[in-house]
Amino acid sequence: MKERLIRLTAIVFAVLCVGFVLFPFFLMLSISLQTMSEVYAPSPVLIPKVPQFENYVKAMQNGNWARYFLNSALVTVVVTAISLVINSMAGYVFARLKFRGSRVLFLLVLTGMMIPPQVTMIPLFSLLRGMPFVGGNNWLGQGGIGLYNSYAGLIIPFLAGSFGVFLCRQFYIGFPKELDDAARMDGCGPFDAFLKIYLPLSGPVLASLGVLKFTGTWNEYTWPLIMTNSDKLKTVQLALTVFRNESEILWNQLMAATFLVSLAIYIVFIFAQKHFVAGLLSGSVKG
């Protein structure tokens, strides 16, 4: 009797939670298919009479959306790919190679994880804007705009994060030491050992890190807001806010665009949900 009551409560809460989370998304989809008179109707419309699929077409014609998607895709793919390479190598070094000062360096990496990006935001901006020899700058980094309004400016700061190094180190530290001994017997140097033994076994950690980096970069708003002002470099998140700034907000188109922008994340999520969850959880386990 008591057991059944507990199970019932769990089911009720589960339904409530799912409804609480999904209802706003349902409204987003519903409104993206409504006419503006349905949006403005005094009583809420839950299901549009005739689904207005052309809202999606109109939303994508409101600005150069092909370009925005391309920009976001480019930045996201490059950041994810480069991060995976440099973070896994650094993680391997911290897990396996002991050298003078390696502990201090790792401590610095941990500090980097705890620093809020707002602390580095302003100097990073002047540093990238004052980059010598690019964007019309002279050798002192003056006279031009440096990496302001450039892809490099959007990509570089996200390669410096240290969460990935930490994640990879935690993963590699669990590998049996015998692997290294075997590699040494066969005459492999540390880099060969990494390439031939560690990397082929890195699937799970690279998948987790990749999914987290992908979502994080795709969803980023603040840095592109600071680093660009040209329509040519607009990312999808910035482009969404353009609807907001118009005098009359076309809610149906805005919701259509919001759904399309989030779709990339949901597609990744459907295929890699397991790795996403694993990545979030591995950040929470202390070790």
Q: How far is the CB of 57 from another protein (least distance, A)?
A: 19
Of 78, 159, 188, 242, the one binding another protein by CB under 8 A: 159
- The smaller minimum CB distance to another protein, of residues 99 and 139, is found at 99
Least distance (Å) between residue 35 CB and another protein: 13
Select from 51-59, 114-122, 173-181, 196-204 the region that touches another protein (CB under 8 A). 114-122
| Among residues 165, 206, 209, 233, the one that binds another protein under rule CB under 8 A | 165
Instruction: Kindly state the tokens that stand for 10.
Output: 């769990």
Residue type for position 73: A
In the chain the first and final C-alpha atoms are separated, in Å, by 42
Q: Which residues contact 74 (CB under 8 A, 6 or more apart)?
A: 151
238, 76 in Cβ contact below 8 A?
Answer: no
Binders of another protein in range 59-88 (CB under 8 A): 85-87
Does the footprint of another protein cover residue 122 (CB under 8 A)?
yes
Evaluate whether 48 touches 30 at the Cβ level (below 8 Å): yes
Size of the site for another protein (CB under 8 A): 87
Q: Does the protein bind another protein through residue 271 (CB under 8 A)? A: no
Tokens of residue 150, six digits: 């450039």
Judged by CB, which is closer to another protein: 64, or 262? 262
CA distance 140 to 138: 5
Q: Which of residues 16-55 bind another protein (CB under 8 A)?
A: 17-18, 20-22, 24-25, 27-28, 31, 39-40, 42-44
What's the rounded Cα separation, in Å, for the pair 143 and 135?
A: 9
Q: Does 190 bind another protein (CB under 8 A)?
A: yes
Instruction: Tell me which stretch binds another protein (CB under 8 A): 58-66, 160-168, 179-187, 199-207.
Output: 160-168
The DSSP H or E segment spanning 1 is: none
DSSP codes, 113-156: HHS-HHHHHHHHHHHHHT-TTSTT--TTS-SS-TTTTSHHHHHG
Report the distance separating Cα 72 and Cα 48, nearest Å.
31
Q: Does 173 interact with another protein (rule: CB under 8 A)?
A: no
Near another protein in 250-269, by CB under 8 A:
251, 254-255, 258, 261-262, 265-266, 269
Q: Least CB distance from residue 72 to another protein, whole Å?
A: 10
Q: Where in 195-234 is the site for another protein (CB under 8 A)?
A: 215, 218-222, 225-226
